[in-house]
Amino acid sequence: MPAGAVRPGCGRLSAENRQPAPSGRSGTRCLQRPRCGGRGRQPQAGQAPKKPGTGPLTETELRAARLIAKGKYNKEIAVELGITYGRTRNLVSAVYRKLGAVDRVDLIAKLEKG
């Protein structure tokens, strides 16, 4: 891809920014890389970009948090939720991050508070 070109779908394609893709490729490319950095779709006006690890707990994360509060280990949580052990580890990490907990004891204390 030549300097200054951005992959399709960057959200900055307009009539004046379009250029045909190189031969052998389909679609168009955006020439506005300096503006959008080629990082994909930009948030709409008035919307803040969503930060990963923020927001309310998902239903699965909430179920995992309740199982942690009951004293279950990750392997037991995986079996109970019907997911892999690796997915359980990621899920527990997301719960820690979203609630600002550093370990299971801290997580349980935060769950009891509210």
* 2: region left, alpha or beta (phi > 0 left; psi from -120 to 50 alpha): beta
Q: What are the beta bridge partners of residue 37?
A: none
Kindly report, residue by residue over 4-19, the tens digit of the pLDDT: 555 555 555 455 555 5
pLDDT at position 14: 52
Backbone phi and psi for residue 85, each to the nearest 5 degrees, phi listed first: -60, -40
* Neighbour tally for 102: CB within 10 Å: 8
The whole-number average pLDDT for the span 26-44 is 54
Which H or E run includes 28? Answer: strand 28-30
The whole-number average pLDDT for the span 48-60 is 74
Cβ atoms of 97 and 82 within 8 Å: the answer is: no
